[in-house]
Copies of this chain bind each other. A is one copy, B any other.
Amino acid sequence: MALPETRSEQMARALEDDICAGRALPGVRLDEQVLAQRFGTSRTPVREALKMLAAQGFVEIRPRQGAVVVGLDVRQVLELFEIMAVLEGLCARLAARRMTPAERADLLAVHAECQRLAAAGDPDVYYAMNTRFHEVIYAGSHNRQLEEETRRVRNRLSPYRRNQLHQLGRVAKSVQEHDDVVRALLEGDPDRAETLMRRHIGIQGDSLSDFVSNMSMPQAAPASPQPALAGALSRPTIVR
């Protein structure tokens, strides 16, 4: 059963993870040879992995000039958030109608954990549970294509949500919004669930300017020739 994974796929996943986790900053040059010996292969599978990532928008390959981690400007990030809001909104809408009793129980459990961790006060820990909360709703939509699509957009945004963290009171607000969403979901109110989730994800009003001004665009200094995946940036953070 365990379908064998080719090297190129492994590398693609590893690199995507590096990018999402912020270990590979936007602008970093991805040198084929360097990656090849980092993974102990030849350049061929490396190239295939890079092509896959390029097709998904994680890296950009300029002919004869190599691949770099895609850097999104403020505008593009906001554009993706607009998409994210409707996708997650749809997840919530569908979940309100389709979640099984077991899934509803899961949702409640994860939500309770979120509340606990929010009270505990560590945004990083909360972040992980927050992710699980949203994942439960993706799954609750019972729409695999949607689940994948939403996750993909989420991943593309992830480098830009980190650092938005630690915003005063954001965690508390987040759980409160979750709470409203959970209520709508359990009551089976698709319209309200969708609306609330859209608001939860969307960046509007004060949140917008807060987000923009706090958003330190993660970017590798173009000056230093970037030793391809140098330092571990670490620290996941957001609080959405």
Give the B-binding residues of A (Cβ under 8 A): 3-6, 8, 12, 44, 47-49, 51-56, 62-64, 76, 79-80, 82-83, 86-87, 89-90, 94, 143-146, 149, 153
Q: How far is the CB of A45 from chain B (nearest CB, A)?
A: 10
Name the B residues within 8 Å of A89 (CB-CB): 86
Pick from B44, B47, B79: contact of A145, CB below 8 A.
B79
- The smallest C-beta distance from A198 to any residue of chain B, in angstroms, reads 10
- What residues on B are CB-neighbors of A63 within 8 Å? 3-6
Q: Contact check: which of B3, B47, B54, B86 meets A62 at CB < 8 Å?
A: B3
Cβ of A76 and Cβ of B144 under 8 Å apart?
Answer: yes
Chain B hits for A144, CB < 8 A = 76, 79
A143→B82 contact, CB < 8 A: yes
Chain B residues in 8 Å Cβ range of A82: 90, 94, 143, 146
Identity of the chain B residue whose Cβ is nearest the Cβ of A80 in the assembled complex: B145
Name the B residues within 8 Å of A62 (CB-CB): 3
Bound together, the chains give a CA A80 to CA B149 distance in angstroms of: 10
Residues of B within 8 A of A52 (CB): 51-52, 54-55
Chain B CB within 10 Å, residue with most, of A4, A51, A94, A153: A51
Q: How far is the CA of A83 from the CA of B49 in the complex (A)?
A: 27
- For the complex, give the distance between the alpha carbons of A6 and B66 in Å: 12
- Decide: A79 and B5 in contact? CB cutoff 8 A: no
Question: Which residue of chain B has its CB nearest to the CB of A49?
Answer: B51
The docked-state distance in angstroms from the alpha carbon of A51 to that of B9 is: 9
Cβ contacts under 8 Å, A80 to chain B: 145
Decide: A90 and B79 in contact? CB cutoff 8 A: no
6 interchain residue pairs of minimum CB distance: A55-B55, A52-B55, A79-B145, A79-B143, A48-B51, A86-B90
In whole angstroms, how far apart are the Cα atoms of A74 and B124 in the complex?
41
Q: Let me know if B87 and A83 touch, CB within 8 A.
A: yes
Cα A35 to Cα B87 in complex, Å, equals 36
Bound together, the chains give a CA A170 to CA B52 distance in angstroms of 38
Name which residue of chain B comes closest to A142, CB basis: B79
Residues of B within 8 A of A5 (CB): 63
Given A51-B8, A52-B55, residue A145 in contact with residue B83 (CB < 8 A): yes
